[in-house]
Structure 1
Amino acid sequence: MQLQERINAFVKLGDFLRQFSSEVTQKSDNVEHNDFFFEGVKHQLKLAKEHNGWFTEENIKFALKSWSDALNFSNLNTWLEPYAINNISPKEVAIIMAGNIPLVGFHDFLSVLISGHSVLVKQSSNDKHLLPYLTKYLEHVEPQFKGVIKFTEEKLKNFDAVIATGSNNTARYFEYYFKNKPSIIRNNRNSVAVLTGKETSAELKNLSEDVFRYYGLGCRNVSKLFVPKGYKFDAFFEAIYHWHPIVEKAKYANNYDYNKAVYLMSEFDMLENGFFMIKEDESYASPIATLFFEYYNDLSELKETLEAKKEQIQCIVSNGFIKNEIAFGATQKPQLWDYADDVDSIKFLSSI
C-alpha cells in the first residue's frame, strides 16, 4: 500500500468522525460507507459512555472533533513531509494503550499505520469500544488495511517493536520486559502553567479549558500553576467559574468531596469555590478537582527549575515565557507533530 493511499484512508476517517463531533450528530450524504457504519458508531459511543463514567458525551465528542480536525490532507502532508516513509521496511509494532481519555492511543495507532507498519493493539479496559469499530471503517475505505491491524487481550507475541504507555510503575515493568525490543516507553507526566499576574480574563478563561477538559485526567491537562509571590487568585476563580456545572457529574463530585475532606481533616491550607480547590504544593500531579500551585520569585530561576524537571512535564502553558510553550487553552488541541514526551514516534518508526 502506498503512502498516499494510507493518507486518503485517514482523511476519509476524519470526514466520517466529523459527523459525531458537533453538539448535534448529523449524518452526511457525502461520507463513504455511511449507511453501513453511522448507526454502529452511535452505538459504540453509547457503550463507551456506559462503560466508563469519565467518558461523557461532551468529552467523547471533543476527542472526535480534535481528530476530525487533524485528519485532513494539509495536516497529514505537513506532518509527514520531513520523513522518508516510502523507504520503510514493514514491521509488526505492538501498542499498549492507556485509557484515561477517549482515544488517547490514537496518535500511536495512526503513526504506526501511516508509516507503513502493521499494528498489534492491546487496549486499556477503560477505552475499548471506539477504536476497534473505527478500524472496521478504515478497512472498508481501504481494504489493504485488512490483516494489517490486530487487537489482542492476551500476552503480546510475535512483534518487532513496541510503544507502551502507563504509570511510572508499569513503565519500569515495560522497560524490563521489552528490553530486547526497540521501544518507546511513556510514563506519568503532567502539564503546568506559568502566570505573571498580567494575564487577561480571556487568557485565564482559556486556561480553565486546560485544567478541566477530560476532568483533568490527561497528561496535557494543567495540574499545577506557578505564580509570582503575592499572587491573588480572585481573577483566576472568576475566570473558571463557568465550569461550575462539572460538580453535577457524580464521579467528579465524589472526588471533590473526598479530596476536600482529606484536606480539611489534615488541616491543609487551600482555597475553594464549591467545585474546585487550589492548594500550595511542590508536587506536579494534583488529584481530581484540585490544582496545585507554587510561588516563584524570579522567572529566570523558574526556567532553570522547569528545565531540571522536564522529564516530569508534558506541556508548559504560558505567554512569552519559554520556547515551545503552549498557548492558554490549547493543551488539548495538539498538532500531529506535537509528540507525547517530545519523542518523535515517526522517526522511531522509520528506524526499526
Structure 2
Amino acid sequence: MSQNDKKRCFIELGKFLSQFSEKENVKNPSVLYNDMFFEDFENLIQLSQSHNGWYTPENVYFSIQSWATALTEENLDQWLANYNLEINEPKNVGLILAGNIPLVGFHDFLSVLITGNNVLIKTSSNDQFLLPFLAKYIIAIEPKFANTIAFVEGKLENFDAVIATGSNNTARYFEYYFKDKPSIIRKNRNSVAVLNGKETKGQLIALGEDIFRYFGLGCRNVSKLFVPKGYSFNAFFEAIFEYQDIIHYEKYANNYDYNKAVFLMSNYKLLDNGFLTIKEDSSYASPISSVFYEFYNSIDELQIRLHSESEQIQCIVSNNLVENSTSFGQTQNPKLWDYADNIDTISFLLIT
C-alpha cells in the first residue's frame, strides 16, 4: 500500500466524521460507504453513554469533530513533511489504550498505520466500541488494512514495539513487562494555567472549556491554576458560571459532593461556587470537580519550576506569559504534531 493510499483513507475518514455534530448529523452523499456506516455510527454515538457513563453525546461529538478537523490533506501533509516514511520496515506495534476520554488512543492508532506498521490494539474496557468502528470504516475504504489491524482481547503477544498508556501505578508494571522491547510508556499528566489577573472575561470563559471539557478527565484538562499573590478569583468565578449546568450531570455531581465533603472534613480552606471547588495545593492532579491553585512570586521563577517539573505537565495555558503556552480554550484541540508527553511518536516508530 502506497503512502498516498494510506493518507487517502484517513482523509476519507475525516470526511465521514465531519458529518456528525451535536447540533445536527448531516448525511453527505459524496462520502464513501455512508449507506453501510452512517446510521450505525449515529446509533453508536447515542449508545456510548451506556457503555461508559462519562461518554455523553456532547463529549463524543466533540471528539469526533476534533478528529474531523484534524484529518485533512493539508494537516496530514504538514504533519508528515519532516519524516522519511519510505525507510520504515513494517513492525508489529502493540497499543495499550486508555479510556478516560472518547478516542483517546486514536493518534497512536493513526501514527502506527500511517508509518506502514501493523497495529495490535488492546482497548480499555471503558472505550471498546468507537475505535473498532472507525477501523472497520478505513478497512472498507482500503481492504489491505484488514491485514494490518488486529484487536486483542487477551494477552498482547508477537509485537516488536509497544505504546502503553496508564496511571503511574500501571506504568511501573508496563516498564517491567516491556523492558525488553522498544516502548513509549505514558503516565499521569495534568495541565495547568498561568494567570496574572489581566485576562479578559472571554479568555476566562475559554479557560472553563479547558477545565470542564470531558468533565476534567483528560491529561489536557487544566487541573491547576498558578496565580500571583493577592489574586482575586471573583472574575474567574464570574466567567466560568457559564458552565454551571455541569452539576446537573449525576456522575459529576456525585464527585462534587464527595470531594467537597472530604475536603471539608479535613478542614481544608476552599473556594466554592456550587459546581467547582478550588483549593490551594502544591499537587498537579486535582480530583473531578476541583481545581488546585498556587501562588507564584515571579513569572521567571515559575517558568524555571514548570520546566523542572515538565514530566508531570501536559499543557500550559496562558496569555503568552510562559514559553510554549497553549491559548485559552484550546487544550482539547491539539494539532497532529502536538505529541502527548512531547514524545515524537512518528520518530519512535521509524527508528525502532
| Same fold by TM-score greater than 0.5 | yes
The alpha-carbon deviation at position 225 of structure 1 amounts to: 0.2
Structure 1 match to 2:314: 314
Q: Letter of the aligned partner of 1:252 in structure 2?
A: Y
TM-score by length of 1: 0.99
The alpha-carbon deviation at position 158 of structure 1 amounts to: 0.4
SS in structure 2 opposite 1:113? helix
CA contact (8 A) 1:14 1:67 kept: yes
Structure 1 match to 2:32: 32
CA contact (8 A) 2:279 2:291 kept: yes
Structure 1 match to 2:67: 67
CA contact (8 A) 1:97 1:123 kept: yes
2:144 equivalent to 1:151: no
Structure 2 match to 1:179: 179
| Distance in 2, Cα, partners of 1:216 & 1:88 | 37
SS in structure 1 opposite 2:159? coil
SS in structure 1 opposite 2:147? coil
2:115 equivalent to 1:118: no
Q: Letter of the aligned partner of 1:148 in structure 2?
A: T
Structure 2 match to 1:260: 260
Q: Letter of the aligned partner of 1:117 in structure 2?
A: N
Structure 1 match to 2:14: 14
Structure 2 match to 1:205: 205
Runs of at least 5 residues in structure 2 that lack an aligned partner in the other structure:
none
CA contact (8 A) 2:194 2:226 kept: yes
Structure 1 match to 2:142: 142
Structure 1 match to 2:341: 341
SS in structure 2 opposite 1:94? strand
SS in structure 1 opposite 2:185? strand
Q: Letter of the aligned partner of 2:53 in structure 1?
A: G
Q: Letter of the aligned partner of 2:200 in structure 1?
A: T
Structure 1 match to 2:167: 167
Structure 2 match to 1:97: 97
CA contact (8 A) 1:196 1:227 kept: yes
CA contact (8 A) 2:91 2:160 kept: yes
Q: Letter of the aligned partner of 2:248 in structure 1?
A: E
The alpha-carbon deviation at position 267 of structure 1 amounts to: 1.5
4+ residue stretches of structure 1 with deviation over 3 A? Answer: none
CA contact (8 A) 2:22 2:57 kept: no
In the TM superposition, 1:211-250 aligns within 5 A as 211-250=211-250
**Would you say how many aligned residue pairs link Structure 1 and Structure 2?**
352
Structure 2 match to 1:52: 52
SS in structure 1 opposite 2:258? helix
Q: Letter of the aligned partner of 2:224 in structure 1?
A: K
The alpha-carbon deviation at position 323 of structure 1 amounts to: 2.1
User: Sequence identity, in percent?
Assistant: 59
CA contact (8 A) 2:94 2:120 kept: yes
2:196 equivalent to 1:196: yes
Q: Which moved more, 1:53-62 or 1:319-328?
A: 319-328
| Distance in 2, Cα, partners of 1:270 & 1:317 | 23
The alpha-carbon deviation at position 22 of structure 1 amounts to: 4.1
CA contact (8 A) 1:277 1:291 kept: yes
| Distance in 2, Cα, partners of 1:341 & 1:102 | 19
The alpha-carbon deviation at position 237 of structure 1 amounts to: 0.3
SS in structure 1 opposite 2:164? strand
Q: List per-residue Cα deviations over 1:205-231 (Å, max 9, x = no partner).
A: 111100000000000000000000000
Q: Which moved more, 1:262-271 or 1:175-184?
A: 262-271
In the TM superposition, 1:265-276 aligns within 5 A as 265-276=265-276
